[in-house]
Amino acid sequence: DRLERVSVAGKDYDCDEWTNITPKILSYVGRNLHTQKDHPIYIVKEAIVQHFYSSYVKSRGVPLFAVFDNLSPVVTVKQNFDSLLTPKDHVSRNRSENYYINKNTVLRAHTSAHEHELIRSGLSAFLMVGDVYRRDTIDATHFPVFHQLEGVRLFNSQQLFSKCEGNTADLTLFENGQETADKQMCHTLETSKLLEFNLKQTIEDCVKHLFGKDVECKWVEAYFPFTHPSFELEIKYNGEWIEMLGCGILKQQILNEAGACDQVAWAFGLGLERLSMKLFDIPDIRYMWTTDDSFLSQFKNHEDFKSIQFKPILSKQPAVANDIAFWIPNDYAMNDFYDLVRSVDDGLVQTVTLVDTFVHSESGKQSHCYRIYYRHTSRALTQAEVNNLHNRIKDAAESQLNVKGRW
Ligand code: PHE
């Protein structure tokens, strides 16, 4: 019963054994929350874009960073992974992590997928904003679609060293050296350190614009296949450290392949849901997708994002927990179950957690038990509708996942 063709964003694609995109996920393509005026995602995006427009200008007041917010989320595997030097066997390519349209085409898992093409087009500084898609767990902060804002800035030798004093003629971008924790093989230490400084400064200024100048920032070492060195930023907000973004010095090979071999660059990518949930105190990521006016109206007519304070309409009713246990087949991935729940659910499921695993001593068969927490974002649930959905999840699990129910 496999699909032959699937239509995404107005174009038809052939399906194959890689296809795992669901109708539910397709229904989110084109919603473009980041271009919907007065939506919290749009408000945060605008705040960041305006900050970059006013802080970085070329001559005659032209903004330095060009902004792209309608690049198609349908990309090639080449764009999403190969162009970013992701190893062929890297887990991030797995079918269980992504929504594949077919073996060559995927819903982008990050806005970094467009770095190569935009660098190739000759830009030297740009921001990209868009919806990205990842198969993931189910809880108040995870949704299979979210939004990223990515920034990339290129420098030639003169631009990078222009603020250095003394005999800058001796400074060079490149050397034939060794890779260390601080730099890539072909970069001089000066190149890497100046880029790192500029990158961290740019991001900290942006974060201060959003959260106030007293916000505490902590830089943590990280790994991405397409940057070195790489960092993550955590910020302390309401007493809690939260991971805000990933960034780093772009691998020179990416610039070389995009025709910018005499330039170096940094890049960062941040999650707009995280930011906006913290900034406006939104307790559940599902709010982002409601079309309910009691949610959206709270973000209307605000001159300044700083004056917005969200009042949750989340039902005071506690969540209803219901367990589901089954024997799993060998090729089972937890994300298969999470996606199935997402497909059947019509807005009632808040969280799903694996509460128990068990191996049968004789058959060696494995069983998983999940606890599903039912809680609507704005109204109380009846026991009957919870039972009904729970039973539909059980039926769908047995018929679609090849699991054997223990009920
Ligand atoms: N694309 C990375 C992610 O989605 C974030 C990132 C962007 C990291 C740019 C480094 C440079 O996690």
**Assembly ipTM:** 0.98
Task: Name residues whose C-beta falls within 8 Å of residue 179's C-beta, 6 or more positions apart in sequence.
Answer: 185, 228
Helix or strand (DSSP H, E) at 204: helix 189-211
DSSP string, 12-28: EEE--TT----HHHHTT
Ligand 1 atom 7: residue of nearest CA: 269
CA of 243 to the centre of ligand 1 (A): 12
Per the structure block, which two tokens stand in for 32?
Answer: 């473009």
Residue 238: per-residue pLDDT? 80
CA of 361 to the centre of ligand 1 (A): 43
CA of 159 to the centre of ligand 1 (A): 24
Q: Which atom of ligand 1 is nearest to the CA of 269?
A: 7
What are the phi and psi torsion angles at 170 (to 5°)? -80, -10
Helix or strand (DSSP H, E) at 272: helix 272-280
Sign of the dihedral through C-alpha 51, 55, 56, 60:
positive
State how far the Cα of 217 lies from the Cα of 244, in Å rounded to an integer.
10
In this structure, are strands 66-68 and 125-133 parallel, antiparallel, or unpaired?
parallel
Residue 379: per-residue pLDDT? 86
DSSP 8-class letter at 387:
H
Residue 9: count of CB within 10 angstroms of its CB: 11
Per the structure block, which two tokens stand in for 325?
Answer: 């246990």
Ligand 1 atom 9: residue of nearest CA: 268
DSSP 8-class letter at 369:
E
Ligand 1 atom 12: residue of nearest CA: 246
pTM for the predicted model, two decimal places: 0.91
Residue 314: per-residue pLDDT? 63
For a mutational test of ligand 1's pocket, the pick from 86, 107, 110, i.e. the residue with the most ligand atoms closer than 8 A to its C-beta, is 110
Q: Which atom of ligand 1 is nearest to the CA of 111?
A: 1
For a mutational test of ligand 1's pocket, the pick from 224, 231, 232, 266, i.e. the residue with the most ligand atoms closer than 8 A to its C-beta, is 224
Output the CA–CA distances (angstroms, integers) from residue 80 to 26, 48, 93, 132, in the order listed. 18, 24, 9, 11
CA of 257 to the centre of ligand 1 (A): 19
Tokens 């995006």 found at: 45
Instruction: Report whether 327 contacts 402 (CB < 8 A).
Output: no
Q: Which residue from 148, 316, 304, 120 is spatially nearest to 212, judged by alpha carbons?
A: 304
Q: Which atom of ligand 1 is nearest to the CA of 115?
A: 9
Please report, in tens digits, the pLDDT of each residue of the chain (407 residues total): 567 899 999 999 999 999 999 999 999 999 999 999 999 999 999 999 999 999 999 988 899 999 999 999 999 999 999 999 999 999 999 999 999 999 999 999 999 999 999 999 999 999 999 999 999 999 999 999 999 999 999 999 999 998 888 888 889 999 999 999 999 999 999 999 999 999 999 999 999 999 999 999 999 999 999 999 999 999 998 888 999 999 999 999 999 999 999 999 999 999 999 999 999 989 899 999 998 888 899 999 788 888 888 887 765 678 899 999 999 999 899 999 999 999 999 889 999 999 999 999 999 999 999 999 999 988 889 999 999 999 999 999 999 999 999 98
Tokens 């601080």 found at: 182
Rg of the chain, C-alpha, whole Å: 23
Q: Which atom of ligand 1 is nearest to the CA of 266?
A: 11
Instruction: Report whether 377 contacts 287 (CB < 8 A).
Output: yes
CA of 360 to the centre of ligand 1 (A): 41
CA of 114 to the centre of ligand 1 (A): 12
CA of 131 to the centre of ligand 1 (A): 14
CA of 51 to the centre of ligand 1 (A): 20
Ligand 1 binding pocket (C-beta < 6 A) is: 110, 112, 150, 224, 227, 246-248, 267-269
Q: Which atom of ligand 1 is nearest to the CA of 245?
A: 5
Task: Name residues whose C-beta falls within 8 Å of residue 357's C-beta, 6 or more positions apart in sequence.
Answer: 366, 367, 368, 369
CA of 348 to the centre of ligand 1 (A): 31
Ligand 1 atom 4: residue of nearest CA: 110
Instruction: Report whether 210 contacts 203 (CB < 8 A).
Output: no
Q: Which atom of ligand 1 is nearest to the CA of 84?
A: 1
CA of 394 to the centre of ligand 1 (A): 37
pLDDT tens digits, 275-306:
999 999 898 999 999 988 888 999 997 888 88
For a mutational test of ligand 1's pocket, the pick from 92, 108, 112, i.e. the residue with the most ligand atoms closer than 8 A to its C-beta, is 112
Residue 330: count of CB within 10 angstroms of its CB: 7
Q: Which atom of ligand 1 is nearest to the CA of 132?
A: 4
Residue 51: per-residue pLDDT? 97
What are the phi and psi torsion angles at 292 (to 5°)? -70, 125
pLDDT tens digits, 136-149:
999 999 999 999 99
CA of 36 to the centre of ligand 1 (A): 24
Instruction: Report whether 74 contacts 107 (CB < 8 A).
Output: yes
